[in-house]
Chain A
Amino acid sequence: MGYTRSGMADGPGTIQNLRLQRAASRSDVFPKLVAMQKNLRARHFAVFRVAGAGLPNKRKLICELENWGPGGIEQQAELMSAYGDIFLDHIEVSILPLIWNGSQNASFAEAGEFSPLIRRLESKMVGFSGIAFPVRLGALGNGYVSFLASAIDLSSDLIIDQHVRSCQVMMDLLALDERRTVPAETLSEREIACLQLAGDGRISEEIAEKLGLSVHTVNAYLGSATIKLDSVNRIQAIAKAIRLGYIH
């Protein structure tokens, strides 16, 4: 059994380390989802992520991976119009799994003794029954791993296992994204220092004095950092630098 010994004081491991443990591409995530789907005896899976994090009225769910097959677009639209808003609100306050009964004949979803630890949604809003596992990673990469079936009967064992695995899937997806958005050229120490101070509310003159540079040089560093971060101005560069972890 694996035994991580990364000390708390050093943080949970470097990005490089974290990346090594993760999937290399989305095609590595797909089989994991198929395996989970089999465990749950479900017919389809769909992974949704929350986009537009900040604004309550701008948040929406984006489907990242699915195996709906033919007719999938309609099913997804049906699911989103029935439960989309509930999904979005729920993940802001809770990570209890969501479960619902479909409208098709003999369609049901049961969780037995686990029932007190799930939230049941209104029945017969969509064709298939299903379960959705909310995953809250933090500022980034939040969403749901959901499974649809005509009938699901779940044990607590199964629910806990699949929820833990859902968390892994969402972390895999985030790690993949992060790799894609890493700037082509990494930022230099000077650029990072200037960005950090700018993010702390210093104006260029103050940064120049603090780092012993001329104002023009500071502006040049901030300009080159903006280009490397694929941003249109320094404010966007600061926002991206924080999200990517270059500055705090």
Chain B
Amino acid sequence: MEPAGSKIISREHLVRRLAVASGSNNVQAMMRLLADYVGASHFLLARYDLIQEQGLDFIVTSNWPFDLVRRLGSDLASGYARSTELEKCLSLLTPSFALLPDDIIPPDEISRQYCALTFCVGRTRFSLMLLFREGIILSQERLREVGLISAYGASFAEARDAKAERDFELTERELECLFWIAEGKTSDEIAVILGISRNTINNYITSVMRKTATKTRSEAIAYAVRNNLV
């Protein structure tokens, strides 16, 4: 049950060194420390909101072999769509283990099994994936800690560029209408609630549907719920 014999470091020691890395905003250094702490050999930190079939924009930092990252990208995207938001919410920081696809050859002495866990900072969900040497058993407790501390690291970065992300294309009034529609209110009812005319409400909704490229009210609401806008 000993995670990675020689590299083992205490929590105090870890925190001291993390404080230094966070001060200089060095995410890569922070992740390397955490990988050492948990006994993993390779780390990959990804943002789920940016995962797409093509492109590798979603990688925040990684020291995985590049081929592996490229191959795994599309698998990640499809795997993510397969579980519901509630399931994701209920598995925060919970490590899960999976096998690399058969056509991938992992680096020497690295196990085919990899570990993944998720955490959220603001509206962004991150996935931390770790490769480790054959025969090493990672401690569940330490994995959770590492997830939490990675989230601290991501918080530093998020707080810095929060301004840009906050600036979503929908106006406050439009969001307000969406919120009430999702609660099952009709345009007439919303007109009473907000004290504006029913036609104005309908204009807001039309404008939401235009901005979100949705065809019906139902689809607009579905879009808003999926993207955590209401």
B-binding residues in A (CB < 8 A): 1-15, 18, 22, 52-58, 91-96, 113-117, 135-141, 155-157, 160, 163-164, 167, 171, 174-175, 178, 198-203, 231-236, 238-239, 242-245, 247-248
- Stretch from B18-26, B38-46, B58-66, B102-110 that touches the partner: B18-26
Q: Mark B6-18, 1 if CB is under 8 A from A, else 0.
A: 0000011001101
Q: In the bound complex, do residue B152 and residue A117 qualify as a contact, i.e. CB atoms below 8 Å apart? A: yes
A-B contact pairs, 29 of them (CB 8 A): A1-B139, A1-B140, A3-B140, A4-B94, A8-B75, A9-B75, A11-B79, A18-B90, A22-B90, A54-B175, A54-B230, A92-B162, A93-B155, A93-B159, A94-B158, A94-B159, A114-B15, A117-B19, A136-B122, A139-B85, A139-B225, A167-B93, A167-B144, A199-B222, A235-B217, A236-B183, A239-B182, A243-B225, A248-B226
Q: In the bound complex, do residue B87 and residue A18 qualify as a contact, i.e. CB atoms below 8 Å apart? A: yes
Kindly state whether residue B112 has any CB partner on chain A within 8 Å. no
Q: In the bound complex, do residue A11 and residue B89 qualify as a contact, i.e. CB atoms below 8 Å apart? A: no
CA distance A140 to B81 in the complex (A): 17
CA distance A8 to B113 in the complex (A): 11
Q: In the bound complex, do residue B92 and residue A248 qualify as a contact, i.e. CB atoms below 8 Å apart? A: no
Assuming the contacts A54-B229, A201-B214, A243-B86, asked whether A8 and B148 have C-beta atoms less than 8 A apart, the reply is no
Q: In the bound complex, do residue A178 and residue B86 qualify as a contact, i.e. CB atoms below 8 Å apart? A: yes
CA distance A53 to B92 in the complex (A): 19
Return chain A residues, CB-CB under 8 Å to B98. 7-9
Q: Which of A113, A138, A200 contacts B85 (CB 8 A)?
A: A138
Q: In the bound complex, do residue B90 and residue A171 qualify as a contact, i.e. CB atoms below 8 Å apart? A: yes
Return chain B residues, CB-CB under 8 Å to A244. 86
Interface size of B by Cβ–Cβ distance < 8 Å? 79
Q: In the bound complex, do residue A245 and residue B85 qualify as a contact, i.e. CB atoms below 8 Å apart? A: yes
A241 to chain B, nearest CB (A): 9
Q: In the bound complex, do residue A203 and residue B91 qualify as a contact, i.e. CB atoms below 8 Å apart? A: no
A20 to chain B, nearest CB (A): 11
Q: In the bound complex, do residue A140 and residue B218 qualify as a contact, i.e. CB atoms below 8 Å apart? A: no
Assuming the contacts A12-B83, A160-B145, A167-B148, asked whether A53 and B222 have C-beta atoms less than 8 A apart, the reply is no
CA distance A28 to B85 in the complex (A): 25
CA distance A153 to B123 in the complex (A): 32
CA distance A18 to B12 in the complex (A): 32
Return chain B residues, CB-CB under 8 Å to A52. 179
A133 to chain B, nearest CB (A): 10
Return chain A residues, CB-CB under 8 Å to B175. 54-55
B13 to chain A, nearest CB (A): 10
Kindly state whether residue B178 has any CB partner on chain A within 8 Å. yes
Q: Which of A5, A18, A22, A94 contacts B121 (CB 8 A)?
A: A94
Chain B's closest residue to A165 (CB) is B144
Assuming the contacts A15-B87, A160-B149, A248-B84, asked whether A95 and B96 have C-beta atoms less than 8 A apart, the reply is no
B220 to chain A, nearest CB (A): 8
Q: Which of B89, B96, B229 gathers most chain A CB within 10 Å?
A: B89
